[in-house]
Amino acid sequence: MKPTIKDVARLAEVSISTVSRVMNAPETVVPGKRDRVIEAIKELKYQPNAFARGLIYKKSFTLGLLIPDIENLYFAGVIRGMQDACIKLGYSLMICNTDRDKERMLSYIDTFHEKQVDGIVFASDVLYPEYYEKLVDCRIPFVLVSSHSDEYEVPSVEVDDELAAYEAVKFLIELGHKEIGMIGFNHDNSVSGPPRVAGFVRALTESGLERNVEKIKYANHRFEHAYQASHELFSDYPELTAVFCVADEFAMGTISYLKDRNILVPGQVSVIGFDNLRMSGMFIPKLTTIAQPIYQLGYRAAEKLHELLTTGSVAVMKEKMEHKLIVRESSREK
C-alpha cells in the first residue's frame, strides 16, 4: 500500500503534526526531529505533494515561463516545445502572461520566487534592468528564448533575426521587386524588431535600393495593428509592389488590408511573413514566410535551463537556431 503520513510519523517516532510542520514550515522543527522525518520520507518514498518532493531533493521540479501574449500563436508553439521537454526532464511548467506590463512582470517574478520554481524561461521581451536585478536578487536561474541581452551575460536561444530578415528581403529583390516596404514591430517593446529592420536595410542597401529604407511602418504585435499600419504604408507609398512583414500575423493583416482595397496578392503586391505559424499554410493565399523552429526553440530553452540548473553553466551562452525560407503563394516575380 502507498505509505501515509501516519507511517512517516511512526517511523520517525514523531507526531503527525510534526511531519506536517516539517513539510510546510521546516524551520519551526528542531533539527534532530526534522532530519528523522526527512529520512523517513526518503525511506518510505512518501510523496504527498510536490512540496515534499522538493524538501527531500531541495528542488521544486518546476520551471516558470514568462510570455508576453498567450493569445499569439507563436507562443503556443514555444509552450508546446517547452512542455514536452519538461515532461522528458521531469519538471512541471507554470506559465504567466505578462502583456508586456512591467508591474505585472515583476509581480510574476515574485510569484515564481514564492512558489520556489527552480528556474525561469523569459520569452520574447526586453530584459530591462529592473527585471534582471529582480531575478538576480531572487537567485532564480533563467534563460531567454526568442530574445537576447547585449547588456547582461544571460543564456539565450533564438534565430538570427537580422540575417533572416535580410534573406527575406533579398528574396523579394531577386523576384524583381524594387519598391519594397516593411511592417515592423514597434521598437519600444521589441527585441527582434531592430535587427529585422537592420536586415531589411542591409538587403536594400546592398542592392542599391536605399530609397526604400524609410518605407517602414510599425505595429504593436496584433493583426489589427498591422492592418492599420498597412493603410498608412500604402497611403504614403502607393507604388509598393512588395512588403516584408516581421510576423505572419502582420502579413495576414497586410493581405487583408490589400484585399479590402481590391489589390491582388500576389498579382499586384507580394507579401512575405516571418514565423511560419500553422495558420500560414491555411491562410489564403498561403504565406511565403521565414520559418522559425518555434517548437524547437521552446524545447531547447527548457533543455538549456536544465543544463544551467544541473551544471551551473551552459556550453553555448548565446545560441542561434536555423531559420528557413518557405515559398508559398503570397509572392511572385515582378
Nearest to 231 by CA among 264, 267, 257: 257
Res. 60: pLDDT tops 90: no
Average pLDDT, the chain: 92
Q: What is the pLDDT of residues 207-257, one digit of tens each?
A: 999 999 999 999 988 899 999 999 999 999 999 999 999 999 999 999 999
Res. 54: pLDDT tops 90: no
Instruction: Output Rg (C-alpha) for the chain, integer angstroms.
Output: 25
Q: What is the pLDDT of residues 170-215, one digit of tens each?
A: 999 999 999 999 999 987 668 899 999 999 999 999 999 999 999 9
N residues, the chain? 334
* Across 155-164, average pLDDT: 97
Peptide bond into 266 cis (omega under 30): yes
pLDDT attached to residue 23: 76
pLDDT attached to residue 296: 98
Q: Model confidence at 27, in pLDDT bands (50, 70, 90)?
A: confident
* Across 30-57, average pLDDT: 78
Bigger pLDDT: 303 or 189?
A: 303
Among 3-17, 55-69, 92-106, 147-161, the minimum mean pLDDT is found in: 55-69
Q: Model confidence at 49, in pLDDT bands (50, 70, 90)?
A: low
Q: What is the pLDDT of residues 252-275, one digit of tens each?
A: 999 999 999 999 999 999 999 999
Q: Model confidence at 59, in pLDDT bands (50, 70, 90)?
A: confident
pLDDT attached to residue 50: 57
Q: Model confidence at 56, in pLDDT bands (50, 70, 90)?
A: low
* Across 49-56, average pLDDT: 55
Give percent of the chain above pLDDT 90: 80
pLDDT attached to residue 1: 75
Among 37-46, 252-261, 289-298, the minimum mean pLDDT is found in: 37-46
* Across 147-152, average pLDDT: 92
